[in-house]
């Protein structure tokens, strides 16, 4: 049975109460905290840096932190996130002049490494580097903003990635990010994903009046995944 992991994206959390928000989603059964790092160059938005990652570690968070770097260039900031407490660091092939070198740098810094694929980015970037990858992240929206709708063509890319991973024999997570909701998470899992990033699908859909709101949403996602 696949060990499915749910990774709430703090991009959609209440930043005025970030430590509390993260504590609550983890207590509700989330597995990984997903960091969307945007630089207003590679993508048209500006979000968070290593200081926020470090602050959550100092807050006492011990769960895995999955840092998705939507920045260009990537090499300069990799050591900063590693020092701040990142578990995974993933980047877009377009953000590095030397993909192999960047993947090696992440591992040298003691983190798990990964590549991120935009809707139109070809999977051929995986050629020759699968032995240096711990995670493949498929974007089911165009990067830059939360709350976007799932792009259906991502299903075919997930299936292709799943075959590449299975054929390789390497232990690689297959993550999906963008438009993941309770009503489509089962279909996404059946296409091959095992790790699910959800921002507005968790933080945005939870009812503020419900004291167990994150338990409710994550519980519904778990129930849907149990049917795979």
Q: Which residues are catalytic?
A: 36, 177
Q: Which of 18, 14, 63, 4 is nearest to 218 (CA)?
A: 4
Structure-block tokens of residue 15: 């930043």
Alpha helices in 62-123 (DSSP H): 78-84, 99-108
Alpha helices in 5-153 (DSSP H): 18-27, 50-59, 78-84, 99-108
1 three-class SS = coil
How far apart CA 23 and CA 60 sit, in angstroms, is: 9
Q: Is the peptide bond before 227 cis (omega within 30 degrees of 0)?
A: no
CA-angle at 182, arms to 156 and 4, nearest 5°: 65
């Amino acid at each position: 049975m696949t060990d499915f992991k749910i990774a709430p994206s703090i991009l959609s959390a209440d930043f005025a109460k970030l430590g509390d928000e993260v504590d609550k989603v983890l207590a509700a059964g989330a597995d990984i905290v997903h960091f969307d790092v945007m630089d207003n160059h590679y993508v048209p938005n500006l979000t968070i840096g290593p200081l926020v990652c470090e602050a959550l570690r100092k807050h006492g968070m011990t769960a895995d932190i999955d840092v998705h770097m939507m920045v260009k260039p990537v090499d300069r900031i990799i050591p900063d996130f590693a020092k701040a407490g990142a578990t995974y660091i993933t980047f877009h092939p377009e953000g590095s002049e030397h993909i192999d070198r960047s993947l090696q740098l992440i591992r040298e810094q003691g983190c798990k490494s990964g590549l991120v694929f935009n809707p139109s980015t070809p999977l051929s970037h995986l050629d020759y580097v699968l032995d240096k990858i711990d995670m493949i992240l498929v974007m089911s929206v165009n990067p830059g903003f939360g709350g976007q709708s799932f792009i259906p063509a991502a299903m075919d890319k997930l299936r292709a990635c799943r075959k590449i991973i299975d054929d390789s024999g390497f232990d690689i997570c297959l993550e999906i990010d963008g438009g993941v909701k309770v009503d489509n998470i089962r279909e996404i899992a059946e296409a091959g994903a095992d790790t699910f990033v959800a921002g507005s699908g968790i933080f945005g859909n939870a009812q503020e009046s419900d004291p167990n709101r994150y338990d409710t949403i994550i519980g519904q996602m778990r129930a849907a995944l149990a049917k795979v």
